[in-house]
Amino acid sequence: MKKIEVVAAIIFDDDKIYCARRANKGETALKWEFPGGKIEKGERPEAALVREIQEELNATISVDKYYMSVEHQYNSFFVTMHGYLCSLQEGPLKRNEHVEDKWLEISELNTLDWAEADKPIVESLIKSIQQ
């Protein structure tokens, strides 16, 4: 079973969070996610996140704070995903890999069909505004 370690950017702009819809391929086809990607060997998670957002969205972010990690077993791989709260430094965001994107308030996040590994982050964010 393939194991991968990835990072995910929870990008805030004012009170909205950036959500990206995956391309129509693979096990998570057309699911929504927080953008990011694989950590390269020897790379720090924060550096991987800055690199991935530059590659995927032609934008520069600041990685502000670690948020949480999620482990999930998909059918064909096991993922450990580290989520970070981030801010957009230079944009605008321009999709290179995703088929759709949206800026949503936290209370609207549960209206999307999220990839399984992203769901615990969505749930935690929603819970944080209900307290």
Q: Is the pLDDT of residue 114 over 80?
A: yes
Assigned token pair, 56: 């995927």
Alpha-helical segments (H) within 4-130: 45-57, 119-130
User: Which pLDDT does position 130 carry in this prediction?
Assistant: 83
d(CA 103, CA 35): 13
The CATH code that applies to domain 2-130 is 3.90.79.10
Query: What pTM does this model have?
Result: 0.94
pLDDT tens, residue by residue, 74-105: 999 999 999 999 999 987 889 999 999 999 99
User: Which pLDDT does position 44 carry in this prediction?
Assistant: 97
In the chain, domain spans: 2-130
d(CA 52, CA 35): 8
